[in-house]
Amino acid sequence: MKGVQDTLEVFEDRLTITPKGVLGFLNKGLQGTKTIPFSSIKAVQHREAGWIANGFLQFTILGGTENMGGVFSAAKDENSFIFSNSDNNNARVTEIKEFIEQAVAPVGQASAGPVSIGDELVKLASLRAQGILTEEEFQAAKKKILS
């Protein structure tokens, strides 16, 4: 799906966000395509596009820092996709959000219970090794887990 400043592609197990055009460059710089495995998504924030403001999908990932500033903050966030109120985009984004939420936590799946600190650190190290987390994000998440 093409958005205001980037393109969102959704696969069975991951999504990609690729900045496009002048707005993508101005807001996200020279970043390339960001790949986010569904396994690292902890929350999805959604705001529908209106007549005045664009909408967004913002993905909170393990070890990442969540932006809380609405659409203006989301525009600069590498884990966000911004879309306009055209071509039935609100309905399409709602479908995408629901698909991702089901993939992240399938209906009827029981809670796995408490996860050990070691397991969480192994997951973080794996995400860092895959290039999903930066060293700074890894250290912040590690500090949060250990405290």
- CA of 138: how far to CAs of 25, 114, 124, in Å? 26, 21, 6
Rounded to the nearest integer, the mean pLDDT of the chain is 78
The lowest-confidence range among 4-8, 93-97, 130-134 is 130-134
Q: What is the CA radius of gyration of the chain?
A: 16
Mean pLDDT, residues 126-138: 81
Is the CB of residue 55 less than 8 Å from the CB of residue 48?
yes
Q: DSSP character for 66?
A: P
- Position 99: which residue type? F
Helix ranges (DSSP H) in the chain: 21-28, 70-76, 89-104, 117-129, 135-146
Q: So what's the pLDDT on residue 96?
A: 92
Would the pTM count as exceeding 0.75? no
**Which residue is listed with tokens 């070890």?**
63
- CA of 116: how far to CAs of 10, 43, 44, 135, 138, in Å? 30, 21, 24, 22, 17
Is the CB of residue 18 less than 8 Å from the CB of residue 6?
yes
Q: Is pLDDT above 90 for 69?
A: no
Q: So what's the pLDDT on residue 68?
A: 52
- Position 46: which residue type? H
